[in-house]
Chains A and B, each alone.
Chain A
């Protein structure tokens, strides 16, 4: 089963990085990566793929709609199936961590993203 992961970050190079990191998983069709470069783009994508099971990996600090606002919208709007939302933010940002958790974030990652850990988490979720 291919897992669809929506990566939301305002940094374009995230796409390259994720594609390289998940090369094997993509090749083995274990994972399918989608990218949104703002909160707004992410919401648009979600609206277009409303009933798809998706895992969202979102940065918090973004110009325009922040990751936390996006999280709030997703948790409010999309219940079937409930998307798994993992928030990524800078190191030691406890406030954002707590807020993300209170908004219903399923997990939390700090930058720089430890891809080994991320892969493990994804595997756990997949299983």
Chain B
């Protein structure tokens, strides 16, 4: 219930109440001091400091200040932020009552700083949470802040800045209304009413007073609301409704006496003495003034004392006892001078503190702006740096790209050159395979050319000899026979000459770059030609090699549009491979093995299928998977380029939009099928 106690501080400060230093109070203070000496538990000590502070506050401000400061330090030590602000508030109030306004201001500013700390809503203790259970953490902080605004408003009011005072009160009221903080709202309303009454703004004061009075009727045990009587009394007094005023002042006196509040009592007595003087009830006014002076002097309430002296003096004037009147008047003036001087000093100090604070705030603002500018500048440099880095990276990337492109272009050119060389190498390699076959193929027609020429010449000689004979001896039948043979021979010479010519042309075509132009070609003849070339080529290299060749050409194929050099290359390649594998198998001396290579052509609808089959060792699947890859070869190093089948595959699939398929069974053989559409 600490908060409630603190709330009383405020009320006390605002209404200038003070309690008597009665025996009960002294007993309680002693008891608390004993408890304090026996415990080292911070939470218990904090409670005792709070109670001592409250008890002393009403009778001995310096002692109250001491215990409040102890409590505040303990909170600081235990990081109890909100509890600390509560004790700081109490300290600020005490300074305010002691008229040490600058110190008070410093305290309220310190509270403001504390409450504006980052994430303070996460540092609320369970005790505070329990106390403010109807509010969430953020709302609790807002309420604490509003409370500090309210206190600062009181301070401004005390030093005479009523504009700032009312502004702060109204600001606080809005926040309390927003969060429906009823208990706090009645405090702010009471202070607002006090303000309006003091400043004689009764139209504004009355609705608030009425509201407070209704609340009091509904809850007659609420002691706090009873301060409303004194305020009503003041209003009635100013409105010259003296009976009503008197009635309310009496209630005020009774109430403050009942709760033992000397400050509150003195405040009402001031009003009551004024009323009696106004009503020319000087005796009553004397009695009240004396009572006022007794209490105010005892508890050093200077303003009340001055008031007491003044009203007493006025009463003496009224009854024409001028000496006494002068005596009290002089006392009032001396006291007033001293207080005015001390007040002035306090207010000057406050103004200086305020000025310092403003200057400090200005410095903070300048520093903040400078920091923001610095941060912006750093940010700007950082962004510029990032931009520069990006530009640099882009530039570098570009350069690298250009370099890479150059390297890639060079590599591409090299690759193209290498590819051309490889293709040429493959052509030359297959040409090498063919050389012996070609030699054999050319040799045969040449032999025929020579032999037929030779025999024809002999026949001509024979004819000539025959013609030398007499008519009777001449055998004309023989002559005719010989002439016929010569004629045939010439045809044969021509035929074999052309045959040799075709072979040479074929060889040249094979080594030349492909024209890539499809030409009508006798596919069967092409297959036959390359079959011979490949067979004899292998035979020329390996004399022991022999193989059975099976030919099955479908005559229905006729003329097919193909790129003859390229297609021949494929046929040659497939046949060379077939001969190679059957020869290889033959080397393993398998009994009864007859190396056989078959070539067949077949027309199926618009499709033409050329198959080359061998009865070699066949291939496992993992080899089949790779055979069309460039540079893959199963032949020993130096025997194959590994390009034959990959080139063949390209020629058939890309050059002729056909298919090149392979089917192989291990130990049984392999069949390559070329499928093209005519």
- Contact between B488 and A95 (Cβ–Cβ < 8 Å)? no
Is A64 at the interface (CB under 8 A from chain B)? Answer: yes
- Contact between B535 and A63 (Cβ–Cβ < 8 Å)? yes
A59 CB → nearest B CB, Å:
9
- Contact between A90 and B439 (Cβ–Cβ < 8 Å)? yes
- Contact between A65 and B546 (Cβ–Cβ < 8 Å)? yes
B-contact bits for A84-115, CB 8 A (1 contact / 0 none)? 00000011010110010000000000011101
- Contact between A64 and B549 (Cβ–Cβ < 8 Å)? yes
B447 CB → nearest A CB, Å:
4
Is A13 at the interface (CB under 8 A from chain B)? Answer: yes
B154 CB → nearest A CB, Å:
128
- Contact between A90 and B443 (Cβ–Cβ < 8 Å)? yes
B-contact bits for A1-44, CB 8 A (1 contact / 0 none)? 00000000001010011001100000000000000000000000
Is B543 at the interface (CB under 8 A from chain A)? Answer: yes
Chain B residues with CB below 8 A from A111, complex form: 443-444, 447
Is A69 at the interface (CB under 8 A from chain B)? Answer: yes
CB closest residue in chain A, given B543: A95
A23 CB → nearest B CB, Å:
9
- Contact between A61 and B496 (Cβ–Cβ < 8 Å)? no
- Contact between A21 and B443 (Cβ–Cβ < 8 Å)? no
The one of A11, A63, A69 in contact with B549, judged by C-beta atoms closer than 8 angstroms, is A63
- Beyond A13-B492, A20-B485, A90-B440, whether A61 also contacts B452 by CB under 8 A is no
- Contact between A17 and B549 (Cβ–Cβ < 8 Å)? no
| Alpha-carbon separation in the docked complex, A17 to B439 (Å) | 21
- Contact between A13 and B539 (Cβ–Cβ < 8 Å)? no
A-contact bits for B636-670, CB 8 A (1 contact / 0 none)? 00000000000000000000000000000000000
The one of A20, A68, A96, A115 in contact with B459, judged by C-beta atoms closer than 8 angstroms, is A20
How many interface residues does chain A have, given as a range?
20 to 34
- Beyond A11-B448, A90-B440, whether A20 also contacts B548 by CB under 8 A is no
A116 CB → nearest B CB, Å:
10
B533 CB → nearest A CB, Å:
12
- Beyond A90-B440, A111-B443, A111-B447, whether A96 also contacts B543 by CB under 8 A is yes
Is B678 at the interface (CB under 8 A from chain A)? Answer: no
| Alpha-carbon separation in the docked complex, A90 to B435 (Å) | 14
- Contact between B443 and A17 (Cβ–Cβ < 8 Å)? no
The one of B446, B447, B539 in contact with A113, judged by C-beta atoms closer than 8 angstroms, is B447
CB closest residue in chain A, given B544: A99
- Contact between B452 and A17 (Cβ–Cβ < 8 Å)? yes
CB closest residue in chain B, given A91: B443
- Beyond A11-B448, A21-B455, A61-B536, whether A16 also contacts B443 by CB under 8 A is no
Is B89 at the interface (CB under 8 A from chain A)? Answer: no
Chain A residues with CB below 8 A from B439, complex form: 90
A44 CB → nearest B CB, Å:
16
Chain B residues with CB below 8 A from A61, complex form: 440, 536, 539
| Alpha-carbon separation in the docked complex, A13 to B491 (Å) | 12
CB closest residue in chain B, given A99: B543
| Alpha-carbon separation in the docked complex, A120 to B171 (Å) | 146
B415 CB → nearest A CB, Å:
42
Q: Kindly name the residue among A64, A90, A95, A115 whose own CB sees the greatest number of chain B CB atoms within 10 A.
A: A90
- Contact between A16 and B549 (Cβ–Cβ < 8 Å)? no
| Alpha-carbon separation in the docked complex, A63 to B161 (Å) | 131
Residues of A within 8 A of B (CB): 11, 13, 16-17, 20-21, 61, 63-66, 68-69, 90-91, 93, 95-96, 99, 111-113, 115
List 4 additional A-B contacts (Cβ < 8 Å) besides A112-B446, A112-B447, A112-B450: A21-B451, A90-B439, A115-B451, A115-B454
Listed by A's residue number, 19 A-B pairs whose Cβ atoms lie within 8 Å are A13-B496, A16-B488, A16-B489, A16-B492, A17-B448, A21-B455, A61-B440, A61-B539, A65-B546, A68-B543, A93-B543, A95-B543, A99-B543, A112-B447, A112-B451, A113-B447, A115-B451, A115-B454, A115-B455
